[in-house]
């Protein structure tokens, strides 16, 4: 644990920390001795989490889909020696693309892509200047091919994946580790928000543990046996075929929306 803080410093920033994967990362990093800046929209949930952690915390309630929210995070971390960014804030939508309210899809773009761009650049510059640091960017298994009935969500995760892959190479000589985390279905509130019905899922603890093990060692991690099985199945067919497979998978998860 001491070697982890030696590598990345005493402070980590975790976005989307109020629940799910972000909360899991925050809890594990605190038990590894890192102080935390916790970011999400739900202040009460962040405050409750902060009270349960064994290290120093700063709570920043912010909507990362807005410029004000992004600037609030910058201001809250300006005087701290943050060395690790865990960009896990995000949400998904599902169903037919043309039936979705545009405002909701635009809001998802702002959070899943715009906020990741902003923070990867801002903290990437800081980490490069200090000569060490790490960034964990939360992608998804759906980001490796088009995914019908989650078309735009998958596209946002494709952005995260390609950005992380490139930054992994660019930032390594500057002492900065960059990792893309690309899980399959995970046991979080995500399905409820996205109006999807999931079957088997990967535990949050598995995602967190395998991601922290991979940081500095791999470019991309696909945590959990379920994710690895799904990935192997998708890689064994041409890309057009993987799109068709995902059409069936997501079609089943969103069948209730169509009343069939």
By annotation, the residues acting in catalysis are 153
Instruction: Decide if 183 contacts 224 (C-beta within 8 A).
Output: yes
Q: Kindly give, in sequence order, each residue whose CB lies less than 8 Å from that of residue 108, ignoring residues fewer than 6 positions away.
A: 90, 91, 92, 93, 152, 153, 156
Among 190, 201, 120, smallest CA distance to 153 is for 190
Residue labelled with tokens 């001795």 = 33
35-40 β-sheet, strand order: 57-61, 35-40, 11-15, 82-87, 133-138, 176-181, 220-221
Which residues partner with 177 through β-bridges?
A: 134
Q: Are strands 82-87 and 11-15 parallel, antiparallel or unpaired?
A: parallel
CB 30 within 8 A of CB 52: no
* Coil/strand/helix, residue 150: coil
Q: Cα(first)–Cα(last) distance of the chain, in Å?
A: 51
């Amino acid at each position: 644990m001491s070697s982890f803080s030696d590598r990345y410093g005493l402070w980590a920033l975790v976005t989307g920390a109020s629940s799910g994967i972000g909360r899991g990362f925050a809890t594990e990093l605190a038990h590894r001795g890192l102080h935390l800046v916790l970011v999400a929209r739900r202040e009460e949930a962040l405050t409750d989490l902060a009270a349960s952690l064994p290290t120093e915390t700063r709570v920043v309630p912010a909507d990362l889909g807005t410029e004000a929210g992004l600037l609030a995070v910058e201001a809250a971390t300006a005087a701290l020696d943050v060395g690790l960014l865990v960009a896990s804030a995000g949400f998904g939508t599902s169903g037919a693309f043309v039936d979705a309210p545009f405002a909701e899809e635009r809001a998802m773009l702002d959070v899943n892509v715009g906020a990741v761009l902003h923070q990867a650049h801002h903290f990437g510059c800081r980490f490069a200047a200090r000569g060490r640091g790490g960034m964990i960017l939360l992608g998804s298994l759906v980001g490796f091919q088009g995914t019908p009935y989650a078309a735009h969500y998958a596209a946002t995760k494709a952005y995260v994946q390609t950005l992380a892959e490139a930054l992994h190479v660019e930032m390594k000589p500057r002492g900065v580790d960059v990792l893309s985390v690309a899980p399959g279905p995970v046991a979080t509130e995500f399905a409820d928000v996205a109006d999807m019905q999931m079957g088997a899922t990967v535990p949050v603890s598995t995602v967190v543990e395998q991601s922290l093990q991979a940081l500095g060692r791999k470019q991309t991690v696909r945590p959990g046996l379920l994710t690895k099985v799904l990935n192997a199945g998708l890689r064994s067919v041409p890309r057009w075929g993987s799109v068709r497979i995902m059409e069936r998978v997501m079609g089943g998860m969103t069948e209730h929306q169509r009343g069939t």
